[in-house]
Structures are given as structure tokens and as C-alpha cells.
Amino acid sequence: MLGQLKKTPLFISLIVTGIALTVLALAGRSYRYETYETNLLTEPLLTVVFEGVHDGVWPAGAASKGEVPVIAAIPESSGSGDLAATPSGNTAALKRSRLPKDMNGTSSSGGGSSDGAQGSVSVPRGKEDADNTEDTEDTTGGAGDAEASREDELQEETGEEEISLWEPVPEEEEPEPVIYTELPEGVCNPVCPAVDYGVASRSFMAPEGTVFEYATEGIFAPTGEFYYLKHVDDSYFSDALFIGDSRTDGLYGYGNMRGVATFLSKESMSIFNIDTKRWNLHERDGSTISMSLEEALTQRSYRKVYISTGVNELGVPNTVSYYQRFRDVVAYIRAMQPDAIIYIEGIMHVSAAKSQSSNMFTNSLIVERNAALATLANGYDIFYIDMNPSVCDEEGNVYADLTGDGIHLYASAYERWHQFLKDNAIVRTRDDLGEVPAVQNPENIPNVEADTK
């Protein structure tokens, strides 16, 4: 018998290693792999070991450095009154947090657990210095108050000395802010109208039936401030960090943005693994270093942080968990980069063919997720921008001749994204313009002319 078995060394080797892996999986089941599900009808238990290896979870021993999620445990760095609660219930005090109201857990419809943190909404005012938290003022009035005071606030802003230097276009040349019967409070886009998806704060949603005629023209803050989206040139991005997945990587590679901005990107980035894996930091000088999000946000301060992930998460249920996690990541970036404008980039849609042939990569799901993302903007230092009009048809599908795989733009099409970013920038003060002033003569900052085709 033993002699017979000697004839089959490979078979024995595979059986032995297979049993060993199964033992590892069983042993790790209670403490390492408890979150992994296996359908034993179609796959053996040992697959969890491989999934663990993929995620950096080893059957024994501590996870190695750099693989510990950093975002779930934001250190209590200050005793300031601005609180952002993480979904796990940790009360993490975030200095200068200006996240919207529902981030503090006051709205929890459909979202499952309410973390119960006492939310105080810090609403910025026009004359506030970006670095000064003391200037924030708690309001509890919500939309109504904001609307009532909007005109005053605008007045106040234009009257403010520092800002007035940067009111680039004379009042009369500004397009009239589009006044709707009910002003939209969020940052919504015709391609992606905000819808009630559960945990979203209603105050950031467009009223039903709102037509966004000039939606890319400006962004309303809940206080009533209206920021025109300005055209800027590339120097605007010199102190910007772009964080994102393969699509952002494509923007770096082919969007004529090398040397223009700093990128932290790599394929497979998702909002869930953003703080556990290492990505490529493409510096403006052309060097590329492997770096974690934490390191990238620690090594330097940025004036703008653009974040764009979402396509890798489409298979992960559900919009609520995506939204909550995104919220925590934004809070983390806020804490790490207190002076930066955070741009939440709406997820780029997919082509019609992809959307129809897939049950996950659908534009309807992307629209749903974008609507949720849009509510994360506070219109003051966190903005939601959506580049989809620059690559999509009227139905919100990415033009078929702009994409090969339905998900990524052709290299030659990334310039549209770049242009969109140049045409839709927030310039609040001179400091926002980048290290090298983009425009010598502020009067000449052109109006927004978003080429949407």
C-alpha cells in the first residue's frame, strides 16, 4: 500500500498541504476569519486563508505594519467641540471638522444604527478665516435659517476686504445665480440629481422636479454662500493631492497632469482598503514612491485634496456602508489636512453597453452612490464635483467612443476630465490659487465655460 502511494507524490503533497490549509482556516475561524463567508457547497473552507492573505490577514500572528486600518481609530487630537462620530461609535474629535449635519448621526433613516453622537453643526461664515475654528458658529435652524440669511451672508462676504480682492468678476458680469423656488442646498448635478436614499440629510437634496440649468456654475453652501466655479490654470493644482483608483491613475498618466499635481493612486483602491494598503505616490517631480494614505497625508500639507473612488466598491453592498465609510475617510482627511479644500469627486459613470450588460456596473447604482456622496459636501471646504457631464451623453452614459472597456476612459479622453477640473475650481481666497499664482490679474479670471460635449 505504502509502495503504491509512493507512485503518487504530487497527489499526496496536495492532499497534505490542503489538509494543513484547512486546519489553518478552521483554527483561524474564530479570531481571524470570522468575517469571511464561505459557501461550502461551492468552495472549500481553505479559501478563507487565501482571501486572508489577499487582505493582509494572516492565520496567525499580528497583521503587519501598514495593514492596520488607520481610519477607524482617529485619535482624539483636540478637545474642540466639533465632533464627528465614526460608525463604530468611537467618538473621535476632529479638529475643525466641518462635516454636514447628518455625519453626526442626527439623521439615521434607513441607515440602520444611529451612532447616537450628539451632533453640533458647525456652519462656517463668510468672513471666517479658514484656519480659525473659533469663528464657527453653531446653528440649529437648518435650511430655513440658512436661506433667510443667505443674502446677508453674501453681502457680508463681498463686503469683506480680503475676499473682495478675490471677487474676480465684477458683479454685473456674473451670471445671475439660478434662483429656484426652493434653492437647492447641496451640490447636485443634472446628470446625477440627488435623491432620497436613506441616510442623506434632506437639507442637501434638490427638491423634486428641480431643473439645474446652470448646475456647474456654482455651489451653494448651506449658509447661503454661493461659490462660483472658476476656471483656473494648472498652477491651481500645484498644491493639490489627487487620491483615487485606476481612473485617477489614468488621469495622472494621460490627463496631462504629470508634474502638475501630486497623485496617490493605484488600481484596486477602494474606500474600504484606502487606509490598509500602499499606493503609488506620484510626485510632481516625476518620482513615484509606494506610500500609505497616512504617510501621504502626513508628509506635507495640501491646499486641495481630490478624492475619487467608487467603481471598485460597486460590488460591495451597500450604498449606506459605502457612504458611511466615505464619510469617515473624508473626516480623516479633514483632520490630517485641516487647510485643504476637499473635493469629493462623483463616481464617473460607465458606458451604456457596460451598464446594460452588468448587474453591478450600472449607472443607476452609480447615480445612487453619487447622490449619497454629494451630501457629504458642506459647501464651505468640502465640495462635491461631478465630471460626468464632460464625458456622458444626456442619459448619463459615458460616450461609447470615449471608452474601451466601458469603465475607463481612453487615454485620449482624460484631457476632458483635466479640463473639467480646470473649469470647475473653487477659489475662495488668494491662498486657494496654488503655489504659483495662476492669474496675475484677477479681473481676467474667465467665467466657467464647461464644455460638456
Partner 1 sequence: MERIVILSSIPFLFRFLPVFLAVYCLTPAKYRDGVLFAGSILFYAAGEPRFVLLLLGLIVVNYAMGSYMFYEKEQNAQVRRKFLFFAAVILDLYTLVLCKILALSVSSSLLPIGMSFYLFKMISWQADLYTGKTQQKPGFLATAAYFSMFPQITQGPIMRFSDYYASTKENERQKVKLSVQSALQPEWLRKLSSNEQLSIETGEGTIVFETEEKKTGTHMVTLDGFEEGLAYIVIGLGMKILLADRIGILWNELVKIGFESISTPLAWLGAYGYSMQLFYDFWGYSLIAAGVGRMLGFRFIINFDHPYAAGSVAEFYRRWHATLGSWFRDYVYIPLGGSRKGKAATIRNLMIVWLLTGFWHGGTLNFILWGLILGVIIVLEKYPLSGIMKKTTIPGRFHVLVLIPLTWVVFAITDLKSLGVYFGRLFPFFGVGKTLDPADFIRYGKIYLPFFAAGAVLCVPAVYRFIVRNRKHPLMVLALTVIFWWSVYYMVTASSNAFMYFSF
CB of 352 to partner 1, least distance (A): 16
Query: Is the CB of 7 or the CB of 65 nearer to partner 1?
Result: 7
CB of 159 to partner 1, least distance (A): 47
453 vs 451: CA distance, rounded Å: 6
CB 179 within 8 A of CB 212: no
C-alpha separations of 80 from 45, 75, 83, 93, 103 in Å: 48, 13, 8, 7, 16
Return all residues near 407 (Cβ < 8 A) that are at least 6 apart: 247, 311, 350, 351, 354, 361
CB of 266 to partner 1, least distance (A): 9
395 vs 385: CA distance, rounded Å: 18
Helical ranges in 279-346 per DSSP H: 293-299, 319-336
Query: Is the CB of 56 or the CB of 177 nearer to partner 1?
Result: 56
Residue type, 371: A
Query: Is the CB of 121 or the CB of 271 nearer to partner 1?
Result: 271
Query: Is the CB of 217 or the CB of 245 nearer to partner 1?
Result: 245
CB of 388 to partner 1, least distance (A): 17
18 CB neighbour count, 10 Å cutoff: 12
Residue type, 398: V
CB of 23 to partner 1, least distance (A): 14
CB of 290 to partner 1, least distance (A): 14
320 vs 196: CA distance, rounded Å: 12
Query: Is the CB of 225 or the CB of 245 nearer to partner 1?
Result: 245
CB of 321 to partner 1, least distance (A): 13
Query: Is the CB of 246 or the CB of 375 nearer to partner 1?
Result: 246
Burial 312-340 (b: 16+ CB within 10 A, else e): bbbeeeebbbbbbbbbbbbbbbbbbbbeb
3-state secondary structure of 241: strand
CB of 53 to partner 1, least distance (A): 7
98 vs 123: CA distance, rounded Å: 7
CB of 409 to partner 1, least distance (A): 8
CB 314 within 8 A of CB 360: yes
Query: Is the CB of 412 or the CB of 444 nearer to partner 1?
Result: 412
Residue corresponding to grid cell 479658514: 130
Determine which helix (DSSP H) or strand (DSSP E) holds 342, and give its type and residue range: strand 341-345
* CA dihedral (147, 152, 156, 157) positive or negative: positive
CB of 18 to partner 1, least distance (A): 9
CB of 356 to partner 1, least distance (A): 12
DSSP secondary structure letter of residue 345: E
Return all residues near 60 (Cβ < 8 A) that are at least 6 apart: 24, 27, 28, 32
137 vs 122: CA distance, rounded Å: 6
* Residue 321 backbone class (left: φ over 0; alpha: ψ -120 to 50; beta: rest): alpha
Query: Is the CB of 115 or the CB of 313 nearer to partner 1?
Result: 313
Q: Given the rule CB under 8 A, which residues bind partner 1?
A: 4, 7-11, 13-14, 17, 21, 41-44, 47, 50-51, 53-54, 245-247, 250, 253-254, 267-268, 270, 311-316, 360, 404-405, 407-408, 410-413
